Amino acid sequence: MSRKPTPAPVPRSIAYGSSPLLTSATPVWRSRFIVAMLALAFAGLAARAAYVQVIGNDFFQRQGEVRYARTLELPASRGRILDRNGMILATSVVAQSVWADPEDVDPNHPRLREAARLLEMPLAELQRRLQVGERNFVWIKRQVDEPVARQVQALGIKGLYLRKEYKRQYPQGEALAHVVGFTNVEDRGQEGVELAFDRELSGRPGSRRVIKDRLGRIVEDVRDIVPPVDGRDLQLSIDGKVQYFAYQRLKDAVLQHNARGGSAVVLDAHTGEVLALANYPSYNPNDRRSLTGEQLRNRALTDSFEPGSTMKPFIAALALDKGLVTPETPIPTAPGRLQMGGFTISDVHPYGVLTVNEVIQKSSNVGTVKMAMQLQPRDMWEAYTRAGFGHKPPVPFPGATSGRLRPYKTWRPIEQATMSYGYGLSVSLLQLAQAYTVFARDGELVPITLLRTDQPAHGVRVFSERHALAVRHMLHMAADPGGTAQLAQTVGYSVGGKTGTARKQEGKGYAARKYRSFFVGLAPIDQPRVVIAVMIDEPSNGVIYGGAVAAPVFSDVAQQTLRLLGVPPDMRVQPQIVADAIEEDPV
């Protein structure tokens, strides 16, 4: 039997209006309090907004920029340094540097050890650099090799980034190290031409102001990019081939004579350009991890020394100018010694009577002193000064010395005598080379330059043309048979020059067995194109005289330089037999 379904219960209606809570009267103060609180809250928000947007706007703007805005420096490429023929002596290549935002880097990241290994630094050092402070930028390692930089980037360590920079490279290595110099990691010149012409080479970096997100990605530029201005290229007067040959020949001589070091300077007598400025020992500017001050010193400019007998031609020229002698004036030098002020001035051999020509050819100390003592000290001082001694060479090179030339009023007779053959004053090798342009340019001192120029230089008159030519003939005689510089002769070109051998100062006196050996010469002799000065410091294998130690270096460098300059030979090439070189006795 079917049963009828039970009907659903009908809900009872609720009388909300009869609720005591709703029917009770609300106190007026409560509603006013709520409205007041809402008004106060809106007033506080408005005040805060006004403070943030108006009063404290600068502060909050700075704080936002500190967290998200970055100014990226756009590095300028440093100008190249070129030789006179366009050969690259220094150039900049792109290099990656690793930097970090310490706030973003996890100091316990598992891959930090691998990053430290790649960057060749202890893990503790890397973690120290990543310590969070007030900095949001720190260099980890500058100018790393490109493959290493990419491996570090591939580790994916948050907060570790790469930045493009420029690294300096020197293709010619140690042969030109003392000329070109080098830059530091900030691409600022530290030595040589890099320092002397840093402003011209540096250029001006640009900048880019950007907003970065929390992952370090650039999301917006906030102002126009300021592009970098690259430095300008600098073309030197140096001839890379002449420089390399001079360096190699100088190195051979230093090693051959077991010397402490040496220098060579090659000048173009027409333009005053420095074609070569070589020193040994040198260093590799591409690898400066174990440099010493001895290696860095540019001896040709920074070292001063007593020039010895290389000063004698200036005394002969001055005596000729003053009308005291002629090239054929006889000067008695027997018995090869001269007593003066308690000192003995001597020659290596007793020559007897010598003409002025022969005094320079034989390098007679006695004959030179007898000419000098006829001169007034003031005349000698003025001639030396006009020849550039006692003044800093006119090249913008760091550390170039002015040498030493005391005022003539303080000279004693013995000092005037010794200054005539190169003791009691000091010069640099560059000064000595420039001074000999007086004889190459018919009595005019030629200003020198390290920058290329194609214009003949205008010199300053030091001696008359006639007497400068007469001394040049004496220099030619010194390189001929019977002279002290026979080993300076070269194949195809006539040469002339003067040897020098000077004891080294040690304390208040002179060392017994330490010498400097010199040769300064010109070629070709009738119309000199080059002036070359060579100095070998402390030869110690038994040969000390400039005619045997320094003159052969001149011979090789002169021949190679004249060929590279396209100067035609002025002598027939024929076999020659030369005698051993002789030299004046070092005093």
Instruction: Identify the pLDDT of residue 134.
Output: 58
Instruction: Identify the pLDDT of residue 121.
Output: 87
- Which of the listed ranges 217-226, 422-431, 567-576 does the model predict with the highest average pLDDT? 422-431
Instruction: Identify the pLDDT of residue 18.
Output: 64
CA 88 to chain centroid, in Å, comes to 16
122: its two tokens: 């202890």
Q: Which of 419, 413, 434, 356 is nearest to 382 (CA)?
A: 419
The residues, any chain, with a CB within 8 Å of residue 125's CB and separated by 6 or more, are 116
309 among known catalytic residues: yes
Q: How confident is the model at residue 86 (pLDDT cuts 50, 70, 90)?
A: very high
> What contacts 24+ positions apart, CB below 8 Å, involve 378-385?
378/408, 379/318, 379/322, 380/315, 380/318, 380/408, 380/416, 380/419, 380/420, 381/405, 381/407, 381/408, 381/411, 383/314, 383/317, 383/318, 383/462, 383/463, 384/314, 384/419, 384/425
421-444 average pLDDT score: 95
- Taking the C-alpha atoms of residue 472 and residue 437, their distance in angstroms, rounded to an integer, is 11
Residue with tokens 């090799």, as numbered in its chain: 145
Name the residue with higher pLDDT: 64 or 438.
Answer: 438
Please give the mean pLDDT across all residues of the chain.
86
Give the start-end residues of each E strand in 38-156.
69-74, 81-82, 88-100, 138-144
Instruction: Identify the pLDDT of residue 123.
Output: 85
pLDDT digits (tens, 9 = 90+) for 449-480: 999 998 888 889 999 999 999 999 999 999 99
CB 221 within 8 A of CB 214: no
Range(s) for CATH 3.40.710.10 in the chain?
Answer: 240-564
- Taking the C-alpha atoms of residue 361 and residue 477, their distance in angstroms, rounded to an integer, is 6
Residue 279 dihedral angles phi and psi, to the nearest 5°: -140, 145
CATH 3.40.710.10, applies to 240-564: yes
Give the start-end residues of each E strand in 134-233.
138-144, 160-169, 182-183, 189-191, 206-212, 218-221
Poorest-pLDDT segment among 61-75, 87-101, 276-290, 350-364: 61-75
Residue with tokens 């035609």, as numbered in its chain: 568
Beta-strand relationship, 509-523 and 530-537: antiparallel
151-161 average pLDDT score: 85
With a cut of 70, say whether residue 448 has pLDDT above it.
Answer: yes
CA distances to 173, 515, 541 from 306, in Å: 31, 10, 22
- Taking the C-alpha atoms of residue 125 and residue 160, their distance in angstroms, rounded to an integer, is 15
Instruction: Identify the pLDDT of residue 366.
Output: 95
- Taking the C-alpha atoms of residue 101 and residue 216, their distance in angstroms, rounded to an integer, is 9
Q: Which of 309, 364, 420, 426 is catalytic?
A: 309
The matching CATH number, chosen from 3.40.50.2000, 3.40.50.2300, 3.30.565.10, 3.90.1310.10, for 71-92+162-235 is 3.90.1310.10
Instruction: Identify the pLDDT of residue 67.
Output: 58
Residue 345 dihedral angles phi and psi, to the nearest 5°: -105, 125
Instruction: Identify the pLDDT of residue 154.
Output: 87
pLDDT digits (tens, 9 = 90+) for 266-320: 999 999 999 999 999 999 998 877 777 777 888 899 999 999 999 999 999 999 9
Run of H or E residues at 266: strand 261-268
Instruction: Identify the pLDDT of residue 1.
Output: 47
SS3 435: helix
Range(s) for CATH 3.90.1310.10 in the chain?
Answer: 71-92+162-235
pLDDT digits (tens, 9 = 90+) for 515-548: 999 999 999 999 999 999 999 999 999 899 999 9
223-242 average pLDDT score: 87
53-76 average pLDDT score: 69
Q: How confident is the model at residue 237 (pLDDT cuts 50, 70, 90)?
A: very high
CB 441 within 8 A of CB 529: no
- Residue % of the chain over a pLDDT of 90: 53
The residues, any chain, with a CB within 8 Å of residue 132's CB and separated by 6 or more, are 102, 103
Instruction: Identify the pLDDT of residue 70.
Output: 65
Q: How confident is the model at residue 358 (pLDDT cuts 50, 70, 90)?
A: very high
347-356 average pLDDT score: 91
Instruction: Identify the pLDDT of residue 538.
Output: 93
Instruction: Identify the pLDDT of residue 16.
Output: 55
Name the residue with higher pLDDT: 159 or 66.
Answer: 159
With a cut of 50, say whether residue 346 has pLDDT above it.
Answer: yes
- Taking the C-alpha atoms of residue 380 and residue 117, their distance in angstroms, rounded to an integer, is 67
Q: How confident is the model at residue 442 (pLDDT cuts 50, 70, 90)?
A: very high
Name the residue with higher pLDDT: 461 or 77.
Answer: 461
Instruction: Identify the pLDDT of residue 262.
Output: 95
Instruction: Identify the pLDDT of residue 19.
Output: 64
With a cut of 50, say whether residue 129 has pLDDT above it.
Answer: yes
- How crowded is residue 66: how many other Cβ atoms within 10 Å of its Cβ? 11
> What is the crossing angle of helices 312-321 and 465-479, to 10°?
140
- Taking the C-alpha atoms of residue 566 and residue 282, their distance in angstroms, rounded to an integer, is 29
Instruction: Identify the pLDDT of residue 101.
Output: 79
With a cut of 90, say whether residue 156 has pLDDT above it.
Answer: no
* CA dihedral sign of residues 248, 249, 255, 259: negative
Instruction: Identify the pLDDT of residue 577.
Output: 46
Instruction: Identify the pLDDT of residue 427.
Output: 96
pLDDT digits (tens, 9 = 90+) for 14-59: 555 566 655 666 677 777 888 888 888 888 888 878 877 777 777 7
- Taking the C-alpha atoms of residue 488 and residue 477, their distance in angstroms, rounded to an integer, is 11
> What contacts 24+ positions apart, CB below 8 Å, involve 456-465?
456/270, 456/271, 457/270, 457/271, 457/272, 460/386, 462/317, 462/383, 462/386, 462/387, 462/438, 463/317, 463/318, 463/320, 463/321, 463/383, 463/438, 464/320, 464/321
Beta-strand relationship, 337-340 and 218-221: unpaired
Instruction: Identify the pLDDT of residue 316.
Output: 97
pLDDT digits (tens, 9 = 90+) for 160-176: 888 888 888 999 999 99
